[in-house]
Each structure stands twice: as structure tokens, then as C-alpha cells.
Chain A
Amino acid sequence: MITSMRKRTMWRAGAVLAAGALALAACSSDSGSDDPSDEPTDGGTDSGSGEQVEIRFSWWGSDERHTLTQEVIDLFMEENPDISVVADFTDWGGYWDKLATTVAGGDTPDVMTQEERYLTDYANRGVVADMSTLDIDTSMIDPSVLQSGTIGGQLAGIATGINAYAIVADPQMFEDAGVEMPDDTTWTWDDFKEIAAQISDALGDGVYGVQDYGGNEAGFNIYARQQGESLYTEDGTLGYSDETLAQWWQDLVDLRESGAMPDGARSVEIAEGGPEQSLLGTNTGAMGMWWTNQLGAISSAAGRDLVLLRLPGESEHERTGMYFKPAMFYSISAETEHPEAAAKFVDFLVNSPEAGALILSDRGLNINTAVREAVSGQLDPLEVQAAEFLAELESEIVDGPPAPPTGAADVPEITGRINQEVLFDTMSPADAAAQFTSEAGAAIGQ
């Protein structure tokens, strides 16, 4: 017993040091948020409920998200003067390193933002609390969406909103090329390849039909689901055949060889640049695959309004493949000292119309149907388009994909890397499919 305690202290000490180093490197706002959070002593405690508590809320994202989230926090603290919320944010890349290290150091944020591929890992290791035991009102949340955050019978996270993976297209580019916009309810993958090739042929050098989309496994998941397969099964195994995956990559090779898609080096460079450097964002391409909540960012980079289309092949096979993905989750630490305060804050984030009016669709289309109604008038035209697109999809979606299994957090990296092998022709689509299955299978412990 004593030795195990000692071991625990030792590795914790090491982890705390590592966490300290990371905290120094990351742009934490601990100091920046001093102004609102250190105030409450000036009469804030007179609300009667007694002690002043402090909780920490962590999230990732852009500057825009940081600003609006701070506004939400300020609003919450105004209404709950006995709780102060400390902001703790980084960009997406640094978020998971930092979160894992703070957890290891015994300093888990009281409320944290999660993502589906990571949530399973955190839930299975007992890092996050079962939120169904806490005082959070979930009555206004669609049960199927609530289900997406349930892992092993516990409510590990409450979805913030929903997204769908879709084609973003530039109507202006179609018009310039003299190509008609497709009917996205009926177009096939062959139509898609043909249209992309027509556009690049018509518009000439340096302009392409479509940006490389092989680096995101969400697209393949839809492709597989259309054919009655899926990336993961309910049992946490891989649920597709290698032939399907090979065909998926073969389509990308065909697109590249026909000139409808940029070559390998160019594709890699564009992919690293995010929405701003994307073909659509730089007006050098007509189509790309993105999450619906990115429509605004890409449109503003492009300087014109873009449109959402369904992925091709939705009516080509036996069923549709598109699905709703919970954009992110709010989770509460299992070891928080203030579960009531943390629950109160999450309840505010999820159920308060005022918070909803600030967040709008930054964290996906709001899942609280009452809040969604209340804020619908404040959405900008692009957000309205995304909301309508998702509403239309709702009736077509057959089912939601199962939660990614433990270890799925490795799969995006594997997908990106093997897609590059295909891009540079160092692997044939068939070899790439076999390699992916072997690596992804190992990652999820299949």
C-alpha cells in the first residue's frame, strides 16, 4: 500500500513538472482572466449560499471562440456571484497534449471540452464524471444526440451541437466553368468525378475541381455507410471491407490523374493551411469536403457565399451514409472538488438562451431545441443555410454511427499519413487499404 502510494506520488511529481512546462508554453489565459475572477470578494459572497468556489473551464479553438466564450463566462459569473470560472484555452493542436498532462498531474479542469474520438478514452479511464447523477437539465436535448455522449452506461459528455460532413461548393466557380450545379440528392460518385474534371478542364491552369479529401476518415465513413458498411461497428471493431477502402482511394487517384485535383505536394501544402489556404478559400477550386460549421470560415476566406451539398452517392446504393456528428462535448471531471458548481455551469451552457445567443452555432448547431428556436433569428445567412441543410438531412439519416472505440484518437493521424502515401504514389490504393486496416486495427485493439 505504502509503496503504491509512493509510486503514485513519484509519477505524479514528474507529470506535474511536465504539465508546468506545457503550461508555460501554452497560451493559457490564467492571468488574462484575473480581472473578472478575482473581483468577487467585493461583496460577491453576500448571496447567502456561503463559500466562494472557483472552477476551471478548458476549451480549444480560434480567437473568435475565445472571445465569445469569455463573454458567456462573464454572464454566468454575473448570475452566480459565488462561482468564479477560470478560462483555460489553447488551439486544437495543443489542447490534447495539455489536457492529458494536466490529468496526469492531478489537475484536471473541472469542466472540459471533449471530442468524440477522445471522449471514449477519457470515459473508460474514469477521468470524467457520470453527468446523469448531477443536477443538469437534459429534457430539451434530442435523446439520440444525448445518447452519443453515453459511454458504458454513463453520461460522459453532453453534446454542444451537431455537424455534418458535407461538400462545400462555390457556385460562382461552377458558373465560370459553365457547369451546372448538381442535384445533390441524386448525384453519384462518378458524376462527382466527372463534374470535378469538367471544371478543371474549363478553368485551366491552377484551378481545380476538388481539393484532396482523403485525409479525413469521416468522408470514408459516409462512403462505407452508403454501401451498408461502416468505419467502426457497435462492437468497437472495423466494419468495412478493404476493397471498399481501396476503391475510395482509387477515386482520389483518378481525380488527381485527370487533373481535377492538385498533385501530392500541392495537396499537402493546401491541407496544412486550413480554411484560409484551401482551394475554396483562395478561389482556386470549386469543391471540398468540410464540416458544416466551417462554412462561415471558408466563405469569409473566399470572400463570397458558398453552398453546402450532400456527399455524392446518397441514393446510389441501398441506403444513405450522411450522419450527424456531435461537434464537441462538455464533460465534468470525476475528481472535481465542486461538482455542483461545475454542473451549474454546464447547465447554463446547455440550457440558457442567453448563453445560446452568444455561442450561436460556433459549437455546432445547438442541440437544445428550445435554445435553437430562441436564437434562430440571430443567425447570419450562412448559419441559417447550415441549419436548414441539417434540418433537411434529419429525415434522410438512417442511423448515427456508433461512438468511436478506445484508441480511435490515433486514427486521424493514420488516415492523414497513409493518404499522403497514396498522394505521392508510394502506395497503391489496395496496399494503402491493407496498411490502414492493419494500423487502425492495432490502434483500437482489434
Chain B
Amino acid sequence: MSVVSELRGMGGKKRGKRQPSAMRKGDGKAAAIFLAPWFIGLFLITAGPMIASAYLSFTDYSLLAPPEWIGFDNYTRMFEDPRLINSLKVTFLYVFISVPLQLAMALALALVLDRGLRGLPIYRSIYYLPSLLGGSVAIALLWRQVFGADGLVNSVLSVFGIEGEGWVSHPDYALGTLMVLNVWTFGAPMIIFLAGLRQIPQMYYEAASIDGAGKWRQFRSVTIPLLTPIIFFNLILQLIGAFQTFTQAYVVSGGTGGPADSTMFYTLYLYQKGFASLDMGYASAMAWLLLAIIAGMTAVNFLASKYWVFYND
């Protein structure tokens, strides 16, 4: 049924006596129509490819010829692949260092901005900006320049008489520059923290100060406990995002994961396996391992949350 006839039908019934129930019926269909794009998207763009990749993960598939069923071979191969192990190390290192730092940064800035500065919306927007840009190719390219041998960082260092390295092209520092990039995009969690801080009733702080609690004590005993659901929420979101880091690593390393595999993130290795080595079956299996890892990490977090997240209700 077309949208036009649907609307016409609704208009026609409006004049009738059974108006309320007709409206309800029409609402259901209208809802279905409005939801359709989302459902189509879900099935075609998310569920369809997921099912295909689940199937492909059990095949030897070069993209150029039809896939051949090989059972669990791709999965067993993963445990003997030193480069995959290395990519897991790189990714975990990145997640465990940059996510806590990013959240700490976001919380610190949120606390400063929550003091009711004049021009707060402007500051908020400025600090949020990197979050909008962080995953983009343009920023990754900029990062390459800033941390290059003749880049901004080394120009600043040279003022102090320090001769810097080519940060993005040295295996000891390249991953560090990507961590800095991630920490720099603290804007999104910061906005959420700000909203969370606004939710904390002022009376708790008044009560605490009457009891003689200083600023630090108030922060530790009032702010943090009441903010734990927000911290938890941000942690889960950022964790999942960090595990899926791709664009920054791809652009900064020129798609190689170099130098010497030091920025070979899991997703980058997956991409290389699938599209450069034409081993799409293996890449699909890797995608499912990543899903399992992220699901596992999230589950652990939910279990652990019982011990530290405080719901004030």
C-alpha cells in the first residue's frame, strides 16, 4: 500500500464516527512505514552481511573464486599466527592505556566546565570538536604532519634544544602518537560527564560541606559514587570504540600498520588479510573473534559493575 493511499484513507476516516480506533489502526501502519527504512537497513546492511561473514568464516574465500567450505581451519590457524597475536597485543595495549586516560581527561575537563563559567557553551563546543573530527581521515593526516620529523611537535621541542624523532615513523613511538590522538578526542565522554554532573543534587554537596567535607572529600564521596553509572556507560562505549580503531591507524601508517607492525591494529590486520592477501575467509573468522572479544570484555565489565557502580534509586 502506498503512502499516499494510506494518508488518504486516514483523512477519509477522520470524518467517520469511529475516529479513535481508526486512528489507532492507521497509526500502526504509519509506524510500520516509518520504521521500514530502519528495518531494511538492519537486515540488508547489518544482519545480511553478518550472516554472510559467519558463513564465509568457515570457507577458503579469495574474493575472486567462489568460497570453499573448510570447517574450522580458519579458526585454528588464528592461534598459530604470530602477526595476529601481535595485532592483539597492539590493540589491547592501546585500549588499556588510552581509554582510561581519555576518560580521566574527559572527567577533569567536565569538572572544570561544570563550575558555571561564562561562555560555557562555547568552551563545550570547542572541546567537543576533536571528537567530531578524531576519526576522520583529515585529522589522521594532520597527525602525521604534527608528529613527523619536521612537524609541529619537533619544532616546539627544538625551541627547548631537544632534537625530536620522527614520532610516527619510529616503532617505539608510533603507537603512542595514536594513543595521544585518542585521548585528544575526549569531547564526547566529556559532554556525557557534564550531563551526569548536572544530575547530582546540590543538597548532597551542602550536606557534605556542613559535615566539614573539603572539596577533595566531596569529589571522592559525593561526585564519584553518584557518577559511577555515567563512568560505566562511557567506559563501555569507549572500550568498544577503541577495539574497533581503524581509520587513524590506517592513515597514519599509510595502510601498512608500520613501522615494523607497531601500529598493526587488529582491524587493520583483518583488512589487510581480507583485501590485500585476498584471504576473506580468514578475515571473516577474525571479525568473529573480535566480536567475541568485545562481547567478553563488555560482559566482564557488566559483572564487575556490580561491585563499583552505584545506582541511586
A-contact bits for B137-170, CB 8 A (1 contact / 0 none)? 0000000000011000000000000000110111
Contact with A along B29-71 (1 / 0, CB 8 A): 0000000000000001100110111011000011111110000
User: Which residues of A in the span 185-216 have a Cβ within 8 Å of any Cβ on B?
Assistant: none
CB-based contact B255/A93 at 8 Å: yes
Instruction: Give residues of chain A (250-269) contacting chain B, Cβ–Cβ below 8 Å.
Output: 264-266, 268-269
State which residues 263-314 of A face B: CB under 8 Å: 264-266, 268-269, 272
Stretch at the interface among B216-224, B256-264, B285-293, B302-310: B256-264
Measured CA separation A426–B62 after assembly (Å): 33
Which residue of chain B has its CB nearest to the CB of A269? Answer: B169
How far, in angstroms, from A409 to B272 measured CA to CA in the complex? 12
A75 on the interface (CB 8 Å rule)? Answer: no
Complex CA gap A423/B261 in Å reads: 13
Chain B residues closer than 8 Å to A420, beta-carbon distance: 171, 258-260
Q: How large is the interface on B (under 10, 10 to 19, 20 to 34, 35 or more residues)?
A: 35 or more
Binding-face segment, A7-15, A134-142, A176-184, A238-246: A7-15
Interface range on chain A (Cβ under 8 Å from partner): 35 or more
B259 touches A96 (CB 8 A): no
Is A380 positioned at the interface, with any CB of B under 8 Å from its CB?
no
B65 touches A272 (CB 8 A): no
Stretch in B90-98, B193-201, B274-282 with 4+ CB within 8 Å of A: B274-282
Given A8-B66, A14-B56, A125-B64, is A268 in contact with B166 using a C-beta cutoff of 8 Å? yes
Closest to B284 in A: A14
Q: Does B254 belong to the interface (CB within 8 Å)?
A: yes
Q: Which residues of B contact A409 (CB under 8 A)?
A: 276-278
Bound: A421/B171 CA distance, A: 9
Whether A27 sits at the interface, judged by CB under 8 Å, is no
Query: A426 contacts which chain B residues (CB < 8 A)?
Result: 171, 260
On whether the beta carbons of B169 and A266 are closer than 8 Å, the reply is yes
CB of B272, distance to nearest CB on chain A (Å):
7
Cβ of A17 under 8 Å from chain B: yes
Report whether B66 and A11 are in contact in the complex, using a CB–CB cutoff of 8 Å. Answer: yes
Q: How far, in whole Å, are A297 and B121 apart by their CA atoms in the complex?
A: 50
Say whether B64 contacts A127, CB under 8 Å: yes
| Neighbouring B residues of A18 by C-beta, 8 Å | 49
The segment out of A99-107, A341-349, A361-369 that lies at the interface is: A99-107
Chain B residues whose CB sits within 8 angstroms of the CB of A423 once the complex forms: 259-260
* Interface window among A28-36, A319-327, A410-418: A410-418
Q: For A103, what are the chain B residues with a Cβ–Cβ distance below 8 Å?
A: 63-64
Is A402 an interface residue, CB under 8 A from the partner? no
Interface residues of B in 170-193 (CB under 8 A from A): 170-171
Contacting pair A122 B64 (CB below 8 A): yes
Cβ B52 vs Cβ A13 within 8 A: yes
Q: Does A97 contact B (CB under 8 A)?
A: yes
Closest to A128 in B: B64
Main secondary structure of the interface of B (DSSP, over half): loop
**Number of CB contacts from chain A to chain B under 8 A:** 104
State which of B49, B64, B67, B258 has its C-beta within 8 Å of the C-beta of A268.
B258
Residue in B67, B256, B259, B277 whose CB lies within 8 Å of A11: B67
Contact partner of B149 (CB less than 8 A), chosen from A13, A93, A265, A413, is: A265
Chain A residues within 8 Å of B278, by CB: 100, 121, 409
Nearest residue (CB) in A for B272 is A413
Query: How far, in whole Å, are A272 and B141 apart by their CA atoms in the complex?
Result: 12
Complex CA distance for A121 and B63, rounded to whole angstroms: 11
Is A17 a contact of B49 with CB atoms below 8 Å?
Answer: yes
Select one of A15, A122, A266, A417 contacting B166, CB under 8 A.
A266
Shortest beta-carbon distance from A291 to chain B in Å: 19
Q: How far is the CA of A25 from the CA of B64 in the complex (A)?
A: 21
Distance in Å from the Cβ of A414 to the closest Cβ of chain B?
A: 10
How far is it, in angstroms, between the C-alpha of A127 and the C-alpha of B55 when the chains are bound?
A: 23
Bound CA span A13–B53, Å = 11
Q: Is the CB of B52 within 8 A of A11?
A: yes
Contact present for A125 and B171 (CB under 8 Å): no
> B275 to A97, Cβ gap below 8 A?
yes
Distance (whole angstroms) from the CB of A446 to the closest CB of chain B: 16
Q: How far is the CB of B313 from chain A (nearest CB, A)?
A: 43
Contacts of A268 in B (CB 8 A): 166, 169-170, 258-259
**How far in angstroms is the closest Cβ of chain B from A409?**
7
- Name the CB-closest residue of A to B273: A410
Binary flags per residue of A22-45, CB closer than 8 Å to B gives 1, else 0: 000000000000000000000000
A268 to B67, CA, bound (A): 37
Task: List B contacts of A413 (CB < 8 A).
Answer: 256, 272, 276
How long is the Cα–Cα vector from A120 to B205 in the complex, in angstroms? 72
A272: which B residues are within 8 A, CB to CB? Answer: 169, 254
CA distance A93 to B165 in the complex (A): 27
Q: Which residues of B contact A101 (CB under 8 A)?
A: 63, 275
Interface centre among B165, B168, B280 (most CB of A within 10 A): B280
CB neighbours (8 Å) of B256 from chain A are 413, 416-417
Answer whether residue A126 sits at the interface, using C-beta atoms and an 8 A cutoff: yes
Contacts A18-B49, A126-B65, A266-B169; A410 near B260 (Cβ below 8 A): no
**Cβ of A443 to closest chain B Cβ, rounded Å:** 8
A-side contacts of B63, CB under 8 Å: 15, 100-101, 103-104
Q: Please, how many angstroms separate the alpha-carbon atoms of A122 and B63 in the complex? A: 10
In the assembled complex, which residues on chain B have CB atoms less than 8 Å from the CB atom of A8? 66
Q: Which of A84-125 contact B (CB under 8 A)?
A: 93, 96-97, 100-101, 103-104, 121-122, 125
Compute how far the CA of A268 lies from the CA of B55 in the bound complex, rounded to whole angstroms.
Answer: 39
Judge whether B66 and A417 touch: CB under 8 Å: no
- Interface digits, B222-264 against A, CB 8 Å rule (1 contact, 0 not)? 0000000000000000000000000000000011101111000
CA A269 to CA B144, docked complex, whole Å:
10
Q: Which of A54-73 contact B (CB under 8 A)?
A: none
Contact of B148 among A7, A13, A269 (CB under 8 A): A269
CA A196 to CA B261, docked complex, whole Å: 29
B45 pairs with A17, CB closer than 8 A: yes
B-chain residues with CB within 8 Å of residue A7 when the two chains form the complex:
55, 66-67
* Interface positions of A (Cβ within 8 A of B): 7-8, 10-11, 13-15, 17-18, 93, 96-97, 100-101, 103-104, 121-122, 125-127, 264-266, 268-269, 272, 409-410, 413, 416-417, 420-421, 423-424, 426, 443
Which 4 pairs show the lowest CB-CB distances between chains A and B? Answer: A14-B52, A265-B166, A268-B169, A269-B169
Inter-chain pairs besides A11-B55, A265-B166, A269-B149, 5 sampled, C-beta below 8 Å: A104-B63, A126-B65, A269-B169, A272-B169, A417-B261
> Mind listing 15 A-B residue pairs with CB under 8 Å?
A10-B52, A14-B56, A15-B63, A101-B275, A104-B280, A121-B62, A122-B64, A265-B170, A266-B149, A268-B170, A272-B169, A409-B277, A413-B272, A424-B171, A426-B171
Binding site for A on B (CB under 8 A): 44-45, 48-49, 51-53, 55-56, 61-67, 148-149, 165-166, 168-171, 254-256, 258-261, 272, 275-278, 280
